[in-house]
Amino acid sequence: MFVKPAQGRSVRWPGTLRLLDAAGANVPETAFWLRAVSRGDVLVASPSTSTAQAQPQASVSEKLPEPEGKSA
């Protein structure tokens, strides 16, 4: 999903703690970003054509690892 920080808000990426760019970015639909949307810290937006080309999808390292299940 593509999000932008709300007016007057700064949001940091979990894990890296870098600031979310004011132009917005594609982020994974994790609990962190969904909570940020519900709190009003970020707004779900449509990327502009120049931003869409400059902002690739979130990398694999930014996604949460899958928990390992126990085999029976």
Q: Scanning the structure block, which residue is given the tokens 């928990």?
A: 67
Contact 55, 26 (CB under 8 A): yes
0.75 cut: is pTM over it? no
* pLDDT confidence of residue 52: 47
Q: Is 39 left (phi over 0), alpha (psi -120 to 50) or beta?
A: alpha
Name the β-bridge partners of 44: 3
CA 60 to chain CA centroid, Å, is: 12
pLDDT by position in tens, the chain (length 72): 999 999 999 999 998 999 999 999 999 999 999 999 999 999 999 987 554 444 555 554 555 555 666 665
Question: Which residues, 6+ apart, have CB-to-CB distance to 22 below 8 Å?
Answer: 4, 5
